[in-house]
């Protein structure tokens, strides 16, 4: 992911804290550009590449006191010269870097850039507790104020915690998170006026039976959810799944592998996605969910020369959108193939995901206007699942890797998540072959 990271240079605490975060981002192979001011520039430049100086707000101290009048006057004078330099740096960044997310450690200009360009912004500072803290009981009462009959379900879930082990209950405005010593393992949400959803973080669990997709539950890393309509629904099966989620998320993470060096380039292959059986222009994936009235499907990625829509709720572009009632859809793209000790790896402007989850993504959304798509689900076509022999064939001159995908699922809705056979098949074909 492309990360724009801003650090204020007022004091050294922000720079030292950001050093730890930046080391983690770089180790995870994110593409990071750093914008910093003041003393933070010199500190970070010794440790990271691509550190850019930007004008930052500052304070004037005399006799261990902040001099408000001098601070204000100094910032006004330097800001008059600094703001144009910042704007010029931003425009250069837009053309060359195109960040997908902004992280700001008390740095105002990168925060402003993220908001102006509708990017996700993570703000790291010490003051947000003043206006974001809410009392635990007040938040929970607010969640169930118009559905008090569901509160006993939450209480029954919380009653399971002592038997699991050390756990913290964290209430937010719409959700209650259950946190074990390592991370969040479950969330509870009063989703409708007659249903509470228990979301569980079970990395290997697939929807089926009582386990439903956790899409839309809104936090905690939940991968599946269980619908609860009364306290008695919390039976042995639910208690067992709660314990499994607690134990899986309490266990220490596997040791981190050292940063991988990219393998040698084996070549560039052409991938063609051929979509059939589109679902139509309207759908309602969840029985009690939102109606979608003007559906389009598009290829996810980055492109300067293809027709594309911006996405109102996600970074990136929806490339070559196709209406949901079209008879068929087709996308063609280049993919760079590398070879290393673990086999093939894939890259390029249309490839997403980490090393063991490289995939091409299709995006489903409602067309808001002629330029904007509001995304509500997506589908993964995993390149790492393709038979290596097919990759070898597709790399030969005059050959193409073809993905044929049925774009409607068994319930008549747009296909989503990781797509498996028979909905998706891969083949290698000579150019021009059917």
Q: Where are the domains of the chain?
A: 2-129, 136-250, 264-430
Q: Using one digit for the tens of pLDDT, what is the confidence trace for 339-358?
A: 988 899 999 999 998 888 99
Report the range of poorest mean pLDDT among 65-79, 138-152, 332-346.
Answer: 65-79
At residue 73, the pLDDT reads 61
N-terminal to C-terminal alpha carbon distance within the chain: 36
Average pLDDT for 72-100: 59
- Using the structure block, give the residue that is written with the tokens 């539950």: 217
Q: In whole angstroms, what separates CA 88 from the centre of its chain?
A: 29
Q: Using one digit for the tens of pLDDT, what is the confidence trace for 270-286?
A: 999 999 999 999 998 87
Report the range of poorest mean pLDDT among 54-68, 129-143, 195-209.
Answer: 54-68
| Kind plus residue range of the DSSP H or E element containing 373 | strand 372-382
Apex 162 CA angle, 157 and 163, nearest 5:
90
Report the range of poorest mean pLDDT among 94-98, 105-109, 271-275.
Answer: 94-98
364/407 Cα distance (integer angstroms): 10
* Per CATH, domain 136-250 is 2.60.40: no
Q: Are the CB atoms for 7 and 14 separated by under 8 Å?
A: yes
3/403 Cα distance (integer angstroms): 31
Position 256 pLDDT exceeds 80 = no
320/349 Cα distance (integer angstroms): 14
398/117 Cα distance (integer angstroms): 41
299/379 Cα distance (integer angstroms): 10
Residue 105's SS3 state is strand
CATH, range 2-129: 3.40.50.2000
Give the global pTM: 0.47
Confidence of residue 134 (pLDDT cuts 50, 70, 90): low
Confidence of residue 80 (pLDDT cuts 50, 70, 90): very low
Q: Using one digit for the tens of pLDDT, what is the confidence trace for 7-62?
A: 988 777 888 889 999 999 988 888 888 888 888 888 898 888 888 887 666 555 56
């Amino acid at each position: 992911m492309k990360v724009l990271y801003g650090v204020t240079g007022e004091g050294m605490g922000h720079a030292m804290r950001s050093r730890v975060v930046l080391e983690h981002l770089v180790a995870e192979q994110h593409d990071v550009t750093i914008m910093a001011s003041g003393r933070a520039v010199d500190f970070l430049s010794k440790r990271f590449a691509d550190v850019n100086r930007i004008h930052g707000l500052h304070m004037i101290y005399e006799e261990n006191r902040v001099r408000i009048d001098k601070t204000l006057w100094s910032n006004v004078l330097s800001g008059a010269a600094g703001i144009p330099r910042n704007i010029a740096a931003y425009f250069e960044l837009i053309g060359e870097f195109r960040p997908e997310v902004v992280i700001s450690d008390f740095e105002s200009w990168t925060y402003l850039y993220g908001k102006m360009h509708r990017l996700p912004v993570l703000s790291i500072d010490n003051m947000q507790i003043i206006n974001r803290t809410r009392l635990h009981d007040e938040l929970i009462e607010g969640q169930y104020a118009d559905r008090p009959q569901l509160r006993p379900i939450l209480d029954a879930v919380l009653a399971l915690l002592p038997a699991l082990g050390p756990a913290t209950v964290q209430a937010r405005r719409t959700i209650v998170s259950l946190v074990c010593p390592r991370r969040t393992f479950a969330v509870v949400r009063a989703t409708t006026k007659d249903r509470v959803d228990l979301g569980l973080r079970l990395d290997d669990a697939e929807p089926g039976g009582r386990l439903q997709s956790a899409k839309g539950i809104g936090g905690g890393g939940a991968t599946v959810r269980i619908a609860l309509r009364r306290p008695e629904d919390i039976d042995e099966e639910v208690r067992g799944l709660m314990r499994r989620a607690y134990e899986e998320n309490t266990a220490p993470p596997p040791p981190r592998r050292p940063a991988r060096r990219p393998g040698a380039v084996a070549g560039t292959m052409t991938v063609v996605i051929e979509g059939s059986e589109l679902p139509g222009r309207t759908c309602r994936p969840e029985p009690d969910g939102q109606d979608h009235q003007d559906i389009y499907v598009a290829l996810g990625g980055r492109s300067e020369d293809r027709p594309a829509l911006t996405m109102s709720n996600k970074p990136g572009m929806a490339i070559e959108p196709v209406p949901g009632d079209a008879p068929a859809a087709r996308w063609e793209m280049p993919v760079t193939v590398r070879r290393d000790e673990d086999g093939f790896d894939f890259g390029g402007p249309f490839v997403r995901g980490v090393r063991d989850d490289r995939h091409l993504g299709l995006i489903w959304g409602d067309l808001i206007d002629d330029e904007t798509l509001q995304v509500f689900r997506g589908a993964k076509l995993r390149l790492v699942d393709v038979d290596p022999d097919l990759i070898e064939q597709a790399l030969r001159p005059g050959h193409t890797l073809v993905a044929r995908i049925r774009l409607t699922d068994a319930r008549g809705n747009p296909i989503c998540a990781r797509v498996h056979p028979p909905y998706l098949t891969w083949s290698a074909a000579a150019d021009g072959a059917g």
